[in-house]
Structure 1
């Protein structure tokens, strides 16, 4: 937990249980509101702080960078070290391996080729790569769209295989030679064909499985159509037009000229992965870039500036539902991380990153750290929460809460049933004698059979509170649910409106869960 903060000459020094965490404000930063800076500092600190509450769950790194850019301000700060042995500080312009964020680039080139009429997303793989289509299980049924949105069911070469063979990258952690071993994209696909099994039938309804092999195949399709190495296509179509001078496709062990920091699989940093051969990522994850360059890319992509047709971006954003906890919906190389938030995440054996564009308000974020396991696995979520705390982003729960309040008020609700614990629901003989009406000003009036109840209510931070005011105490008939109804009503803790328009009031009484079901009174 952060205890104090002191700003000195561009440095923000945070002191917590793990000792001092130095945050460096970079040259690109400008006009960042102080409350926004403090909230984002807390996220950045969690990247490198072993004592943070999330470190034991998501890990931490020797160093990291977090950058958030809006039309009016820019937060750009780094924390930790680029080289733990020499305690050299991390810098905001330090390059990093963007990992699977590369898929956005591969997919963008794919969509450009579609615009040029040389392919369609519904092309069968066999049209472009007949040999690989024949070698892969179900290969004759695979489409480019299925490969791009991970509905093809193709085994991912990075996973350990069903026959017991360690996956490429998975096997690298125990073998330094394997870490440095180079592969062609053809060899990566051949590994999947030889050792893997389909996850599901291509295009099976409701099925989704992330596959790096799918993007290697797309990279090979691009190379065949373009007649040149994939990196040259990236340069000509994306990097050079956008002026990304610090972004490159790396087909080998990154050399010192790239300026990457030392990288590790995870704490306690006993497995160094600085020499990971990036050919193992290829079209699925072999790009090196900087925070500045990735801001330019994600903003240009989501503005549609990389396409000739407006429909291309819209097609990239046609999503399928996933089985991922951090990516609810996935399009063509583009993940919808939340409503109005688009981007991707990236993990290599030494880096974790998250890149996204927020449509409302218009801003982009880039976060990365130099281990494969750190808070950037939930980077968009962590940054979103920080920006909600400062009012930069709207809190969706507040909008949902306001919508719920609007639906609850202005009508009279009639009791349908009372569910107490695991017992059978209790249903009133005369439902019209059990009603409640919520007033927008915070008062309510309820009828509990022969009794009348008045009081106050509120719904704040998704917690429903119902407090009793004047209540009659008439003795109702023995079969009456008056007393039960009142007791559960005052134990309320939450509410929701179901799809059929019924009102559910949730309650806990004597450690027993209960539920009151209401329908609109006719």
Structure 2
């Protein structure tokens, strides 16, 4: 039960508490600070009239690359993101085409971003992978209901209880397979990135190695459990392996022939390892203030889950074909692809849910992609025949929810903040008032830069009580501490530690770590899981303490 609780916490924290931390990340800067006001010049490859819609889209471009101000507030209040060096917005509809960029391709030359340039599309590649799987299903070379163990018996055997996983579950992220990028093992790719070990950027990995590294973690849930969903790059690596086995061709050959060449996507390529210089990609960064250059990333680390480079215009070609069934022979295939993967999942709503190889986003059909140096969002709106593509050369950017930001400016979608607030897991989320007066018992402490949660020693006591008058009672192993707290908007919290007893605690005590995190607290999240309340208090550097209490 606790394992599942913590996994749910991770999923929810990616939507909630990380937003508070993103706001307080060390020294974010806008590209205008780095390259001057000239970097805010908007480059247009269109002849759109300067009407209200055009002006709204221009404003979004500026918001993507600058720090918030009173005149330019953040695109999202619940999930703010730091500025990117450069960004592109492409909108193609019967009313016309908006095709513009802002910012810089790198922070050294500060050269303008060309709206038409190619970019690593990250997990948007999964749509290519899914398209080929459904084609093979139509051709009778496989069935999406097949057990994955028919094709990859040794890999499925890495997990207890994985025997019932089907291809369909891989397509819809309902297999319960853990994501290899989430591994905390310091020897794995995920663990090394977690430790900010950037030497791993250029390392080559085989698909088999990626799957094996995922097996350092157990299944997230039993395969196919109703209403359960967990994004898994591991599953899409397996789909690539199945494509190779069934077609007798490499993954790159199969997708190139069946999707890219078939649709005439002349500026789209699947990268085997490192992108060739002739692709002319922008320099890529983790996040503002752009201190980590990730342009040397090895695409084998994503393979069939994210190794494509494309352009906005090519993605428009693909999205219209993919979501109208042009890549398939039978209407039933498109219908199967468009089926909601996990009805009842509390992290989804009627305006936001996963299909089988794509997302539904407020009327748009698309996906989204994040690499170690880009973030993008793409979508096709069938009712208006509108395509939206947006990307930025930073892995943390407002482009990640671009369909909602841009769709709202077009009068098509709700805002992301509206969608987020209506997610069942968020709408039913307890408030801070629900924990006031309760005794919160410590589950563990995570200190930034470490790879493990430190749990209290058996027999020790760590607890906190938030009193209604703004005071706190804290027990930190062998000492009691008085404190005060203040809460604010967007789940912000500050804690001021006060008088304390000064008993020497036994060796191995985590009291110092516990109190240090509380004293640096900046944000909190509270979740209801069964009969438990799970409370997480975090710092700007992503240290955290987690508590549980009976409701």
TM-score of the two chains, using structure 2 as the length reference = 0.65
Flag the structure with more relative contact order, 1 or 2, with Cα contacts below 8 A and sequence separation at least 6. 2
Pairwise mapping of residues 220-259 of structure 1 onto structure 2 (< 5 A)? 220-259=241-280
In 1, the alpha carbon distance for the partners of 2:400 and 2:414 equals: 21
User: What SS does structure 2 have at the residue aligned with 1:373?
Assistant: coil
Give, in whole Å, the separation in 2 of the partners of 1:395 and 1:86.
38
Choose the corresponding residue for 1:354, options 377, 394, 400: 377
Output one character per residue of 1:292-338: Cα deviation in whole Å (capped at 9) or x when no partner.
11111111111211111111111111002345469832111111112
- Contact 1:158–1:170 (CA<8 Å) still a contact in 2? no
Give yes or no for contact 1:173–1:179 (8 Å, CA) kept in 2: no
Is 1:177 the counterpart of 2:199? The answer is yes
Describe the superposition over 1:166-208 as per-residue Cα deviations: whole angstroms up to 9, x where unpaired.
5438617722320110111111111112x11110000111211
SS at match of 1:168: helix
How much does 1:45 deviate?
1.3
- Structure 2 vs 1, CA of residues 378 and 119 (structure 1 numbering), >3 Å: closer, same or farther? same
Q: Determine the structure 2 residue equivalent to 1:57.
A: 80
Q: Secondary structure at the match of 1:103?
A: helix
Answer yes or no: is the 8 Å Cα contact 1:32–1:73 preserved in 2: no
In 1, Cα distance between the equivalents of 2:64 and 2:392? Answer: 7
Contact 1:173/1:271 (8 A) holds in 2: no
Matched, 1:311 2:311: no
Equivalent pair of 1:248/1:287 in contact (CA under 8 Å): yes
1:69-127 CA deviation, whole Å, 9 max, x = no partner?
00230000010011220111100111111011111110011100001011111100011
Residue 264 of structure 1 corresponds to which residue in structure 2?
A: 285
Aligned residue for 2:134, secondary structure, equals: helix
The aligned counterpart of 2:395 is 372
Q: 1:125 — aligned with what?
A: 148
Matching residue within 193, 218, 227 for 2:239: 218
Q: Which residue of 2 aligns with 1:24?
A: 42
Q: Does 1:331 align with 2:334?
A: no
Residue in structure 2 matched with residue 37 of structure 1 by the alignment: 54
2:421 aligned residue: none
Distance 1:314 1:259, change over 3 A: same
How far apart are residue 258 of structure 1 and its match? Answer: 1.6
With over 3 angstroms needed to count, the CA separation of the structure-2 counterparts of 1:335 and 1:32, relative to structure 1, is farther
Q: Distance in 1 between matches of 2:306 and 2:64?
A: 22
Shift in Å at residue 139 of structure 1?
Answer: 2.8
Query: Which runs of structure 2 are paired with 1:274-423 in the superposition (5 Å)?
Result: 274-319=295-340, 320-321=342-343, 322-324=345-347, 328-338=352-362, 340-388=363-411, 393=412
- Residue 205 of structure 1 corresponds to 226
Query: Deviations for 1:102-157, whole angstroms, at most 9, x for unmatched residues?
Result: 11110011100001011111100011122212223323111011111011000100
Aligned-partner Cα distance in 2 for 1:105–1:170: 28
Query: Is the Cα–Cα contact under 8 Å of residues 208 and 323 in structure 1 kept in the other structure?
Result: no
Alignment partners' CA distance in 1, 2:151 and 2:163: 11
Asked if the contact 1:32/1:75 (under 8 Å) is kept, the reply is: no
Q: 1:99 to 1:205 in 2, by over 3 A?
A: same
1: CA distance between counterparts of 2:67 and 2:383? 33
5+ long unaligned stretches in structure 1 = 1-13, 398-421, 423-522
SS of the residue aligned with 1:69?
Answer: strand
Whether the aligned pair in 2 keeps the contact of 1:160 and 1:170 (CA below 8 Å) is: no
Matched-pair contact (CA < 8 Å) for 2:87–2:393: yes
Residues in 2 aligned to 1:169 and 1:328: alpha-carbon distance in whole angstroms: 30
Q: 2:103 aligns with which of 63, 71, 80?
A: 80
Q: 1:96 aligns with which of 116, 119, 130?
A: 119
> What is the rounded CA distance, in whole Å, between the counterparts of 2:321 and 2:42 in structure 1?
27
Cα distance in 2, alignment partners of residues 396 and 132 from structure 1: 41
Aligned to 2:135: 112
Q: Is there any run of 5+ residues in structure 2 with no aligned partner, and where?
A: 1-31, 417-433, 435-551
* 1:100 partner SS: helix
- Structure-2 change in CA distance of 1:174 and 1:268 (3 Å): same
Report the Cα distance in structure 1 between the residues aligned to 2:178 and 2:292, rounded to whole angstroms. 27
Distance 1:170-1:284 versus aligned 2 partners, 3 A rule: farther
Contact persistence 1:159–1:170 (CA under 8 A): no
Q: How does 1:159-170 map to 2 (within 5 A)?
A: 159-161=182-184, 167-168=189-190
CA contact (8 A) 2:39 2:112 kept: no
- Secondary structure class of the residue paired with 1:77: strand
> Contact between 2:171 and 2:357, CA under 8 Å: does it hold in 1?
yes
SS across alignment from 1:76: strand
The change in CA–CA distance for 1:169 and 1:349 in structure 2 (over 3 A counts) is farther
Q: What is the CA–CA distance in structure 2 between the aligned matches of 1:41 and 1:49, rounded to whole Å?
A: 13
What is the deviation of 1:381? 1.0
Larger deviation: 132-141 or 242-251?
A: 132-141
Separation in 1, partners of 2:231, 2:204: 23
